Amino acid sequence: MIEKNQISNLVSIDWLHTNMNASNLIILDATINKEVDDTAIRIPNARFFDIKQKFSDTSAPFPSTLPSKDQFEKEAQNLGINKDSIIVVYNDKGIYSSARAWWLFKVFGFKAVAVLDGGLPEWQLNDFHVANYTDDIYSKGNIEIDFKSKLMTNFEGITKFIEDQEAQIIDARSEARFKCLVDEPRAGLRRGTIPNSINLPYNELFEGNTFKSIDQLSIIFSNLEMGKNKRTLVFSCGSGITACILALAATLCNYKNLVVYDGSWTEYGSLIE
């Protein structure tokens, strides 16, 4: 059994391999738009964390919108997650949507969750065993939700952060998208940038599949052109996925008062006149 003080926000594949058989460990595969059938590959015993359909508000006009408290609690319980569970979440692209799943658990008050550094690609590069998905049935979990609403913001909130002298908005999109040099990948969405935001492309944080060292990440953040009086960091991207990668990296560097703009540029670019 793993104690909660033994888990950090980021764990290595070696750590996971060593602790695979812990009784309270739950491994979540948060790969986006994955077809889960008997040909799909997973880390052994991983459970599919369906961001797009089960852990988003599918009735919302924008993609990957934060689910309700009741929806998150129900779907997490359906995955067999308990109050004493230790969660490790990964995806099939190194670190990508796994950070979104990690942030969702933080938003809903569950702290014992970590991202697998390097994800499935790093796991396979080290020749660790993988398995196919099967029709698993889980006993209903007893996880309870404690919604931390200040960790997410919406269109109304971001308009206030734009004017807040103590807040810095950081955009995780590529430099070309941030500078409006290329079209947005979402059809019909205008090019643009949130006022008073600066750019930190999320892929600059990686060395191969894994994060750069904490020292390197700290230098990247310290080199950003933002004033020392910025008490709150607000992360944005295209639709609220890669913003969470910046939030994870900032957490590793011990930054506090972090917020993710849930709708990000997809929402802001659609709603501004």
Copy the structure tokens of residue 254.
């011990």
| Rounded Cα distance, 172 and 198, in Å | 9
Going by C-alpha positions, the residue among 51, 37, 54 that lies closest to residue 135 is 37
In the three-class reduction of DSSP (H, G, I as helix; E, B as strand; rest coil), residue 44 is classed as coil
245 with 96: CB under 8 angstroms?
A: yes
Read off the DSSP letter of residue 189. Answer: P
251 with 9: CB under 8 angstroms?
A: yes
Alpha-carbon separation of residue 195 from 171, 239, 261 (angstroms): 11, 17, 14
253 is an active site residue:
no
Total count of residues recorded for the chain: 273
Identified catalytic residue from 180, 237, 244, 253: 237
136 with 79: CB under 8 angstroms?
A: no
Neighbouring CB atoms inside 10 A of 10's CB total 22
| Rounded Cα distance, 205 and 215, in Å | 11
Q: E strand or H helix at 76, and its extent?
A: helix 69-78
Going by C-alpha positions, the residue among 256, 238, 235 that lies closest to residue 246 is 235
Give the catalytic positions in this structure: 237
